[in-house]
Amino acid sequence: MIQLKNINLARGIKLLVEGASFQLHPGHKVGLTGANGAGKSSVFAMLRGELHPESGDLDIPQHWTIAHVAQETPALSDAAIEFVLDGDVELRQVEAALRQAEAEGSGEAVGELHARLGEIEGYSARARAAELLHGLGFSTADLQRPVSDFSGGWRVRLNLARALMCRSDLLLLDEPTNHLDLDAVIWLENWLKDYRGTLLLISHDRDFLDAIVNHIAHIEQQKLTLYRGGYSDFERQRAERLAQQQSNYERQQREVAHLQGYIDRFRAKATKARQAQSRIKALERMELISAAHVDSPFSFGFREPVAAPDPLLVLDEADAGYQDNAILKRIMLTLRPGERVGLLGRNGAGKSTLIKLLAGNMSPLQGKRVEGKELNVGYFAQHQLEQLRPEESPLQHMLRLDPQTREQEHRNYLGGFDFRGEMATSPCGAFSGGEKSRLALALLIWTRPNLLLLDEPTNHLDLEMRHALTLALQDYQGGVVLVSHDRSLLRSSCDRFLLVADGKAENFDGDLDDYKSWLAEQRQQEKAAEEKSQPAAGKNAWAQGKADRQARLVQRRPIVKEAEQLEKKIAAWQPEKGQLDQALAAPELYQDPDKSKLQSLLRRQAELAQSISQAEERWLELQEQLEAFPEIN
């Protein structure tokens, strides 16, 4: 059992949590929620022993094993499956001891170690690790690839698989769905439902939380409060509490106004001075109840598009892909004003390729892409965050985008995205991922698009911002095409779905529950096919396929080589950019009257940001080309 007794937790001089006291029993699944900066990650650091409370007691059983997802992944030469197996520390210790005992010929030790291996399910460990990797989107061929071969997002998945492999008593997961697509999110959701230990989960995905947790620990105004039930239950309980709090506040304000009125009328009269003074003291002693801040800090809407051509965009028998390699074929799609389309499909099926074709970032290999007159596309994708100018503030970005509009109007608009006061005029290079996403969305919305293409827009956004985006999309008059792993956003914003699978993009006759069933069926078919192919084909069959495999290797080689070169360049550029970002975050640099150093750093930072963005975009294109090749076994 985990027990918090009157915990006060701080980071530096900032108090995050005050007087927290509650118990978490074995098997509890708890969602940790609160605004950005409220202290959720600090609570995790405290539970891991990396941060100590200012006062109070934290009791965690000493024998408990705590698992969490590492933030960094070194470029190891270890195979992916071996890296994941390393998550079970005792398994690796027993395996090492067993090898030594066998080398020494110690029969008794060998017997004892084999018994222990059975107790910890060591004989099935490799199969369990493979299942974790498959569930998180890795192919069979990926299992033996070195960790260094994978990009940053896939290394995050490897770290997640390694944490899940640990036979933990307490599992701490901080935004585990951020780098996952919808099918991996659904798989992880089912895995966590069956997890037997105690789970603490930070997530901004309300459907994900509702499906898994049975308690919510919410941080608000430095208070950490435990609620029973899922996230929707928490919202109802909190709304009721805030309504009661607001009622008490309004009643108290009437009493305060009455006392203050008496004081104002009679404090100057000598005959009434004593009574006035007594009321002043009563007012000072009164414990004021805080007004309930039920309003989100985010409040924005889409500006009405200048034009609304009908149709907005038509794909007629269009093939989408790279060079001569078509990933999607014969796409027939008509987008009209007010239509909201969600794209469903497994990782690598071609959703992002379709979005790029719609955005005009690539031309169809065959067929037609026909734009409506005065089409204005608003395209949001994660790589566009790198195109923000780190040395410029949100206000400077807005003035550059629209210099004709008054500065105060831009400030008011940015306030709806919670860029207020100094935040509106601070360089955005030091912003968090969520803050950069909000700024990119604000800039996109200001352009008044009549067709929105949103590729995972909710990554790094908190629950309040996701809710505000959902409300804004419901009032938007233009067309929407949305790729997201946030089922609440998909369910609330989309009228119909397209399924991207098997080289096609076709209407999906069903909802998200039907898609979940479709995914389960696909996984079952793949598993059956794999089991069927397990009896090794004969030597003749292998020889017949050898020529084909060699041909595919020859075709893949230049693509793999270019991708490796890009990875090396990005790996060399990123540390330099990180150093520049850190240097540019120093306030004294902007105060120095000699601006030559600042200008030099900003120029180099912009060059690096552009180079990294272009290289990552090209790397993604190469990966999609590689995914389109048949697997080489």
**pLDDT tens, position by position, 513-524:** 889 889 888 888
Mean pLDDT across the stretch 273-282? 56
pLDDT of residue 314: 93
pLDDT of residue 111: 83
* 355/455 Cα distance (integer angstroms): 8
Q: Is the pLDDT of residue 302 over 90?
A: no
Nearest to 395 by CA among 380, 378, 377, 409: 409
Q: Is the pLDDT of residue 571 over 70?
A: yes
Tokens found for residue 483: 């790729």
**pLDDT tens, 423-440?**
899 998 888 888 888 899
> Do 1-64+169-229 and 308-376+452-527 have matching folds?
yes
pLDDT of residue 410: 92
**pLDDT tens, 233-248?**
888 887 777 777 667 6
* 159/147 Cα distance (integer angstroms): 10
When pLDDT is cut at 50, 70 and 90, the band that residue 287 belongs to is very low
**Cβ-based neighbours of 603, under 8 Å, separated by 6 or more:** none
CA 371 to chain centre: 32
The DSSP secondary structure of 469-490, one letter per residue, reads HHHHHHH--SEEEEE-S-HHHH
Lowest average pLDDT, out of 198-202, 372-376, 620-624, goes to 620-624
**pLDDT tens, 306-332?**
888 889 999 999 999 887 788 899 999
**pLDDT tens, 379-399?**
998 777 878 898 999 999 999
Lowest average pLDDT, out of 91-105, 138-152, 246-260, 407-421, goes to 246-260
Q: Give the architecture-level CATH label for domain 308-376+452-527.
A: 3-Layer(aba) Sandwich (3.40)
pLDDT of residue 539: 42
Nearest to 429 by CA among 389, 380, 460, 382: 389
Nearest to 217 by CA among 237, 190, 197: 237
Could you tell me the residue ranges of all domains in the chain? 1-64+169-229, 73-167, 239-285, 308-376+452-527, 391-448
Type and span of the H or E element at 567: helix 539-584
pLDDT of residue 209: 92
Share of residues in the chain with pLDDT > 90 (%): 26
pLDDT of residue 316: 93
Q: Is the pLDDT of residue 140 over 90?
A: no
* 129/121 Cα distance (integer angstroms): 12
Tokens found for residue 386: 């790198």
Nearest to 302 by CA among 151, 479, 437: 479
CATH 3.40.50.150 is right for the domain spanning 1-64+169-229: no
pLDDT of residue 499: 93
**Cβ-based neighbours of 310, under 8 Å, separated by 6 or more:** 336, 337, 372
Q: Is the pLDDT of residue 291 over 50?
A: no
**pLDDT tens, 247-276?**
766 776 776 676 677 667 666 655 555 556
Tokens found for residue 269: 């009269």
When pLDDT is cut at 50, 70 and 90, the band that residue 199 belongs to is very high
* 39/35 Cα distance (integer angstroms): 8
* 279/276 Cα distance (integer angstroms): 5
| pTM (predicted TM-score) | 0.69
Bridge partner list, 369: 315
